[in-house]
Structure formats: structure tokens, C-alpha cells
């Protein structure tokens, strides 16, 4: 017999989960592990849904159709409202390219596949994650993909093979965890976004809801629940973005939540009373709506403000999102959930709503972002997002195995053998075009050796680029053995490796410079370029529509120097002569700001951290070749 009693502590847990996520999204440095709130949600969801399934089976009234009708009534109304409101603001605030991306992510969200969409589009050409208004829907997609099969499998096992139910759930959870941990370092994005590597979190809650463990004795409830709270608190404070995740690291918050749920299942305890504090219960009631509203509000504001919002504006945006959550909870979620019309054809209504909303996305997609919204001047600024190496697809290794040395591309005079090489990660891909243009007039050529997220550093493994370390060793040997190449330009995204063992990367970078110079090669070290919290072409075009000066759009020079302090300390010791270094701060920055736009040349970056061809030409003009 499955007994049901009100668990206010579960609402308190939901409150902690959503508050952790909101704080992390607003002030990530304040709560570095706040993103595990999503993992906590998964455990709670698996627990509650499985309890519901057991209750239905106990009553003899389980129906697949009824289950999915409940899911539609629970998930769709608030989601559709948020998508609609976000779409209106997106039409007003986003560039054509960003609007196309938004429409695609809307379609993916409608069909609960946004986790796969964001996984597939998480490459270098994508904008910053904070600028994607629907990024947060990935977790909804994971849940719905899980619940597409789970209820049927659960009920089938419970009815026909009850002795196999718990072993099957345990085996599935173990398999998911092993998959997540074993492939995490080779495929971190896939393990983060995709349902198979997240299923164990939902299954932990599901297993806990089954009558497997006996209720705890009163003397053990407090200890178990308080231990769970300590585990959750530890996860929020100790886990961070650079830690491989989910994998075994996700067990800390997930098992912490499991302890709290298990202790509360047996009766009241101190932690349950703390979590049942009425403000937490109130926030827990709003948790779904607040989760839906907060991220689009923050993301759209960042698209307009150009990255960091500042504390005052962040608080204002969150207050707006909270108001939206309260209104949608009161006037959308609750009326539909409490409606007497429970037997309406919600499956058909949901399908029609999905198709109807999909049709609203078509104009934005077919018109390539409704460019008619903007003036020719704004459109010219937006167009800088395509101002990159025209041979990037052929000559730059974005993912997978880097291009072999003998097959690398040449730029410059088509009749010349290369005497210069650009070796680096993606920050060198546009520099090589500008260098080739300069060398062509001298009857010379340059060799491109660039691979994304693979800096020119020895003995520096990159977890999602397994071939990088061997590629760098081979490239160094090939350059030293190639008598044609006299000058090597080294370029790297130093900021991108700040949280990926930067000291080790810098040590390997120094080894490369010293080995090349000792081999008789001239090395030109390219110092860090500015990196922005926004997409320059998009923000410049939007600000132009508002008659704002493009010269004011950039990153403070003090921030740029602080971001790259370790890199500058190393590079200062590597500059053997003035002609052997390129210092972007002397070209792109003044005492106050590093610019993303030049009045004489145009947009200097084609996305947030890569120079455009215009920007590359400005940089190379200061280089002695």
C-alpha cells in the first residue's frame, strides 16, 4: 500500500534547487556549484513521479494516456507562455543571426530536444552560452525524454516481473553512471546535455520511491537528513564549472537529496522542519515558473547590455522574472492544474499547440532573422559575423583529428613556398589570412597550422581534444625539420585556458618557444587578444539601431589585463626582441577600453573571442614580417 502525505520538505528542497540555479546564473562567482540545482531537481522528479506511478498502480487505475495528460497540463502551459513572451522580446532585441538561433532553439524546446540542439551547436562559432535565451530548456528535454519510456517500462516490470523491478532500476542507474563517468573527459558536452548520461540522477529518486528500504528509526532520521543537507551544501560550495561533470561528482548532490527524501519518508525530522519553513515552501511552489522565467530575462538583458549587467540591473531583471513567475503560477499553472476539465483531449491539444507554435517560428527562419527590422548600417555591422577565414572549413581543424602537417593550407603567393607558419588554436585562423595578404605582395607564402582548443604547447593534454598533445609534438618536429620555414607566429586563446590548467599550458608554451628558437627559427609571440562577454557584431548592430556610439562598446582595459595576468607574466620573459612580439593591447586598447570596433576599419571581431578579418589586418599591420 502506498501512503500519501504532504511533504513540505520536498517543496523546500525545490526552493533550494531553484535558488541555487538562479544565483549561479546571476552571480556565478557567489555560488560556484549552483548549477547542481538541476541535478537536485532530477532526483526529486524521479522520486515524485515514481511515487505517483506506484499510487496509480495501487489504485488499479494506471493509464499511459492519463500520465501524459498530467505531464502536458503540468509542463506545457507555463512553458508556452514563457516561449511566447520571450519570442516577442527576441524579435525586438536580437540580431538576425541570433534570432535564427533563437527560433531553432524554440522549435527544439517545443519538441523537447533542446538538449540535443545545444549539444550539437556548442562549437566555437556559437555565441556565449549566457546569450542563448532558451539554453535552460535542455533540462526539461532531458526529463521528458526520460519519461517518454520510463513509465511504460516501470509499469510493465511492476505488473509482470515485480522481482526484477529493483534490480532493473539499479542496473540502469549503474549503467548510466558508468557511461557518464567513462566518456566524460572525451565527450564532456555530450555527457552534460544528453539523457543517457543523466538518467542515473532521475533513477536515484525512482529507486528511493520504491518500497526497497525500511523506514528509518526516529533516532536515525535527523542524522541522515542533516548529512544530506551537508552533502548538498558541500556540492554547492565545492563543485565548480571546471570539474568534469556530471559523472561521479554528481553523486554528492544527488545522494544528499536522496538522504533528505529518505529521512523525510519515515516521518518528521529537524531538516524536514527547516525545509518546511513557509518562505521556502512558497518558493518551492514557484520553482518551475521561476526556473522558466529567470534565464530568458537574464539572457536577453545580457544581449542588450553587452555581457555583465552589474548588481543593480541583475536584481531588477530577477525581480521582473519573479513577477512573471508569480503571475504565470497564479493565472496559468494553477487554474489548469486545478481545472475540473481533466478529461479534455490534452494530448491532442498539446500536439496542436506545438504545431501552431512551430508555425510562428517559420517567418523568422525563412527570412533569415527578419533583417527588415534594421537599417542598412546595422545590417552591415551584423554582417561582420561572417568576416572570418573563408577557408576555415578546409584549413582549420575544428574538432577531431588535426590536419596532417603535409596537408596544411598555404596563403599568400600561389607560386611561392612558405617561409612563415602560423601555429595555434582558433585564434590563429584569421591572422593567417591577413599575413598571407601581406606576404603575397612580396612573393611569399604562409602555412596555416591551427586546431580549435589546441594551443601550441607541449605536454598539455586537452580532455575533449584527445589528439592535441600528439599533434603539437608532431608539429614541433615537422617545423624544426622543415628548412623552408624561418618564422613561426604563435597564437593562442589564453583566456580560454584559465580554468584548464593554465600554468601547465603556459609551461608547455614556453617549451615550444624555446625549442623553436634553439632550432634557429624566429618566433613571433602573439599576446592575448581581448575577449568579450557579448557578441560584437550583434551588439554593435543593435546599439546602432538605438543611435549609440560603437566606440563605447568593448571591455575595460583593466579587466583585460587582469584576465591575462598569468599569460603576460610568462610572455614578458619570452620577448627576445621587439620585433618578436605582437601586443594587441597596443593596437586595440587605450587606457580605458579595449575596442570591438574601429572607426577607420570597422568591426574588429566576428564573435566574442575571435578577431574578424578586419581585426586580423589591424593586428598584422603592427607585425614585423
Q: Are residues 318 and 467 both part of a single domain?
A: no
Residue 609 lies in a domain: no
* Contact between residue 95 and residue 82 where contact means Cβ atoms under 8 Å apart: no
Looking at the chain, the whole-number percentage of residues with pLDDT higher than 90 is 71
Q: Are residues 326 and 412 both part of a single domain?
A: no
What whole-number distance in Å separates Cα of residue 188 and Cα of residue 478? 31
SS3 (DSSP) at 402:
coil
pLDDT band at 2 (very low <50, low <70, confident <90, very high): very low
Task: Inform me whether the pLDDT recorded for 420 exceeds 90.
Answer: yes
Rounded to an integer, the average pLDDT of 19-48 is: 96
Q: Enumerate the H helices of 246-286 as residue ranges.
A: 251-265, 270-275, 278-285
Task: Inform me whether the pLDDT recorded for 38 exceeds 60.
Answer: yes
Of 153, 180, 182, 179, nearest to 168 (Cα)? 153
Q: Are residues 163 and 287 both part of a single domain?
A: yes
**Strand 410-412 to 605-607 pairing:** unpaired
Q: In which domain, by residue range, is 517 found? A: 390-530+556-589+615-621
pLDDT digits (tens, 9 = 90+) for 328-356: 999 999 888 887 666 667 678 778 888 88
Residue 308 lies in a domain: yes
Residue 111 lies in a domain: yes
pLDDT greater at residue 350 or residue 408: 408
**Strand 396-397 to 445-451 pairing:** parallel
Q: Are residues 413 and 355 both part of a single domain?
A: no
Q: Are residues 401 and 515 both part of a single domain?
A: yes
Task: Inform me whether the pLDDT recorded for 131 exceeds 50.
Answer: yes
Looking at the chain, the whole-number percentage of residues with pLDDT higher than 70 is 96
pLDDT for 576 equals 62
Q: Are residues 450 and 331 both part of a single domain?
A: no
Rounded to an integer, the average pLDDT of 108-116 is: 95
What whole-number distance in Å separates Cα of residue 176 and Cα of residue 406? 42
Of 555, 528, 536, nearest to 597 (Cα)? 536
Q: Which of 370, 399, 423 is the last residue of a domain?
A: 370
Task: Inform me whether the pLDDT recorded for 580 exceeds 70.
Answer: yes
Q: Are residues 28 and 87 both part of a single domain?
A: yes
* Cα within 13 Å of Cα(602), Cβ side: 20
Cell of 262: 529518505
Candidate ranges 258-267, 336-345, 578-587; pick with highest mean pLDDT: 258-267
pLDDT for 578 equals 53
Residue 378 lies in a domain: no
- Of the given ranges (32-46, 351-365, 366-380), which has the lowest mean pLDDT? 351-365
* C-alpha to C-alpha distances, 354 to 68, 80, 349, 360, 489, nearest whole angstrom: 15, 9, 9, 10, 52
This prediction's pTM: 0.90
What whole-number distance in Å separates Cα of residue 70 and Cα of residue 59? 17
pLDDT digits (tens, 9 = 90+) for 313-330: 999 999 999 999 999 999
**Dihedrals φ, ψ of 8, to 5°?**
-65, -25
Domains held by the chain: number: 2
Residue 246 lies in a domain: yes
pLDDT band at 58 (very low <50, low <70, confident <90, very high): confident
pLDDT band at 48 (very low <50, low <70, confident <90, very high): very high
Q: Share the mean pLDDT of the chain.
A: 91
pLDDT band at 379 (very low <50, low <70, confident <90, very high): very high
Rounded to an integer, the average pLDDT of 240-257 is: 94
Rounded to an integer, the average pLDDT of 550-575 is: 86
pLDDT digits (tens, 9 = 90+) for 165-198: 999 999 999 999 999 999 888 888 899 999 999 9
pLDDT digits (tens, 9 = 90+) for 70-86: 898 899 999 999 999 99
pLDDT for 212 equals 82
Sign of the Cα torsion 190, 194, 198, 199 reads negative
Q: Which of left, alpha, beta for 413 (phi over 0: left; psi -120 to 50: alpha)?
A: beta
Q: Are residues 283 and 423 both part of a single domain?
A: no
Residue 421 maps to which CATH number? Answer: 3.40.50.1110
Rounded to an integer, the average pLDDT of 247-269 is: 92
Rounded to an integer, the average pLDDT of 369-376 is: 95
**Dihedrals φ, ψ of 617, to 5°?**
-65, -40
Q: Are residues 359 and 456 both part of a single domain?
A: no
Instruction: Say if residue 478 is exposed, middle or buried (CB neighbours under 10 Å; 0-12, 13-18, 19+).
Output: middle
Residue 46 lies in a domain: yes
What whole-number distance in Å separates Cα of residue 266 and Cα of residue 52? 18
Which residues touch 327 (CB under 8 Å, ≥6 apart)? none
Amino acid at each position: 500500500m502506498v501512503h500519501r502525505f504532504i511533504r513540505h520538505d520536498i517543496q523546500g528542497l525545490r526552493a533550494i534547487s531553484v535558488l541555487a540555479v538562479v544565483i549561479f546564473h546571476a552571480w556565478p562567482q557567489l555560488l560556484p556549484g549552483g548549477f547542481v540545482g538541476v541535478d537536485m531537481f532530477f532526483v526529486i522528479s524521479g522520486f515524485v513521479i515514481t511515487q505517483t506511478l506506484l499510487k496509480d498502480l495501487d489504485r488499479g487505475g494506471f493509464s499511459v494516456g492519463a500520465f501524459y495528460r498530467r505531464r502536458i497540463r503540468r509542463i506545457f502551459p507555463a512553458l508556452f507562455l514563457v516561449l511566447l513572451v520571450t519570442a516577442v522580446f527576441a524579435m525586438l532585441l536580437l540580431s538576425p543571426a541570433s534570432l535564427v538561433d533563437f527560433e531553432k532553439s524554440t522549435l527544439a524546446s517545443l519538441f523537447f530536444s533542446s538538449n540535443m540542439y545545444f549539444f550539437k551547436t556548442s562549437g566555437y562559432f556559437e555565441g556565449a552560452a549566457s546569450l542563448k535565451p532558451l539554453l535552460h530548456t535542455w533540462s526539461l528535454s532531458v526529463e521528458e525524454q526520460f519519461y517518454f519510456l520510463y513509465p511504460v517500462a516501470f509499469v510493465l516490470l511492476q505488473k509482470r516481473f515485480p522481482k526484477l523491478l529493483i534490480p532493473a532500476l539499479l542496473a540502469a542507474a549503474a549503467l548510466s553512471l558508468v557511461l557518464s563517468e567513462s566518456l566524460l573527459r572525451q565527450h564532456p558536452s555530450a555527457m552534460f546535455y544528453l539523457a543517457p548520461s543523466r538518467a542515473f540522477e532521475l533513477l536515484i529518486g525512482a529507486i528511493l520511491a520504491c518500497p526497497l528500504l525500511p523506514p528509518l528509526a526516529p533516532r536515525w532520521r535527523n542524522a541522515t537528513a542533516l548529512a544530506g543537507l551537508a552533502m548538498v551544501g558541500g556540492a554547492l560550495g565545492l563543485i565548480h564549472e571546471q570539474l568534469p561533470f556530471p559523472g561521479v561528482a554528481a553523486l554528492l548532490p544527488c545522494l544528499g537529496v536522496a538522504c533528505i527524501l529518505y529521512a523525510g519518508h519515515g516521518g518528521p525530522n529537524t531538516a524536514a522542519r527547516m525545509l518546511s519553513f513557509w518562505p521556502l515552501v512558497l518558493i518551492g511552489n514557484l520553482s518551475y515558473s521561476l526556473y522558466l522565467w529567470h534565464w530568458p530575462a537574464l539572457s536577453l538583458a545580457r544581449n542588450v547590455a553587452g555581457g555583465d549587467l552589474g548588481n543593480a540591473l541583475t536584481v531588477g531583471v530577477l525581480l521582473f522574472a519573479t513577477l512573471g513567475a508569480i503571475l504565470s503560477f497564479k493565472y496559468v499553472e494553477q487554474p489548469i492544474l486545478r481545472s475540473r476539465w481533466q478529461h479534455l483531449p490534452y494530448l491532442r491539444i498539446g500536439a496542436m499547440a506545438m504545431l501552431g507554435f512551430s508555425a510562428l517560428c517559420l517567418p523568422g527562419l525563412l527570412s533569415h532573422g527578419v533583417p527588415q527590422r534594421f537599417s542598412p548600417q546595422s545590417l552591415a555591422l551584423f554582417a561582420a559575423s561572417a568576416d572570418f577565414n573563408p577557408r576555415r572549413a578546409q584549413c582549420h581543424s575544428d574538432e577531431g583529428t588535426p590536419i596532417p602537417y603535409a596537408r596544411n593550407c598555404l596563403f599568400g603567393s600561389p607560386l611561392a613556398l612558405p617561409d612563415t607558419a602560423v601555429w595555434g588554436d582558433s585564434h590563429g585562423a584569421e591572422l593567417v589570412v591577413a599575413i598571407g595578404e601581406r606576404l603575397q605582395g612580396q612573393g611569399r607564402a604562409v602555412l596555416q597550422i591551427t586546431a580549435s582548443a589546441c594551443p601550441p604547447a607541449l605536454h598539455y593534454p586537452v580532455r575533449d581534444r584527445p589528439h592535441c598533445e600528439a599533434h603539437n609534438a608532431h608539429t614541433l618536429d615537422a617545423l624544426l625539420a622543415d628548412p623552408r620555414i624561418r618564422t613561426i607566429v604563435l597564437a593562442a586563446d589564453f583566456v580560454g585556458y584559465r580554468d584548464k590548467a593554465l600554468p601547465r599550458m603556459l609551461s608547455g608554451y614556453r617549451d615550444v618557444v624555446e625549442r623553436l628558437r634553439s632550432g634557429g627559427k624566429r618566433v613571433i609571440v602573439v599576446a592575448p587578444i581581448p575577449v568579450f562577454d557579448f557578441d560584437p557584431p550583434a551588439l554593435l548592430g543593435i546599439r546602432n539601431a538605438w543611435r549609440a556610439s560603437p566606440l563605447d562598446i568593448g571591455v575595460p582595459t583593466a579587466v583585460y589585463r587582469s584576465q591575462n595576468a598569468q599569460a603576460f607574466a610568462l610572455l614578458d620573459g619570452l620577448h627576445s626582441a621587439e620585433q618578436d612580439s605582437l601586443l594587441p593591447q597596443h593596437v586595440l586598447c587605450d587606457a580605458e577600453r579595449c575596442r570591438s570596433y574601429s572607426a577607420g576599419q570597422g568591426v574588429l571581431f566576428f564573435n566574442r573571442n575571435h578577431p574578424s578579418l578586419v581585426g586580423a589586418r589591424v593586428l598584422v599591420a603592427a607585425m614585423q614580417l
